Copies of this chain bind each other. A is one copy, B any other.
């Protein structure tokens, strides 16, 4: 049945994301993964073509998600300040709504094979370039403090990353506070005066 097929593949993908996050791609065996979804290892191959495919899907699915988010924010807002604020909020939203998949995306992409690794790097580079040009615009307009845009970009992106490792669903009540404070902190570092 197509319906159960899809659902089982989804289960496998989610279990894989969790295992990749907890142990890393290389330390996760297909037998570990099979156990997590109550299958024997060979049965996995009825749903997926291999370990590498799982990683590929996780990485590129998230790359598309970030590209789409950036697209949306660029069309919803025109001021650099609003755009950066929305981007930080977007990153934090993703971090708290789908933390497991994102930590694979953040940390395990280096285990992609050569061709996919290259494509992934290019997509990330493109994302960074667009984010950076928003920062540059804000500096040119005198809204942001003048600084090296690349340094500012990486500092902002990194400053968000701890949330992926730290966030647990039980802390749901705190998440709005976390968002507000991280945004406050970063914007204070960014804005002129």
Contact = CB atoms under 8 A, between A and B. Distances in A.
A185 interface: yes
Interface stretch (A42-50, A62-70, A75-83, A145-153): A145-153
A173 interface: no
Contacts of A161: 158, 161
Specify the main secondary structure of chain A where it touches its partner. Answer: helix
A4 interface: no
A30 interface: no
Interface residues of A, number: 35
* Residue in A155, A162, A177 whose Cβ sees the most chain B Cβ within 10 Å: A155
B181 A185 contact: no
A190 interface: yes
Contacts of A54: none
Contact of A185 (B24, B27, B111, B147): B147
Nearest to A182: B155
Contacts of A22: 110
A10 B95 CA distance: 39
Given A26-B27, A111-B27, A159-B158, A148 B189 contact: no
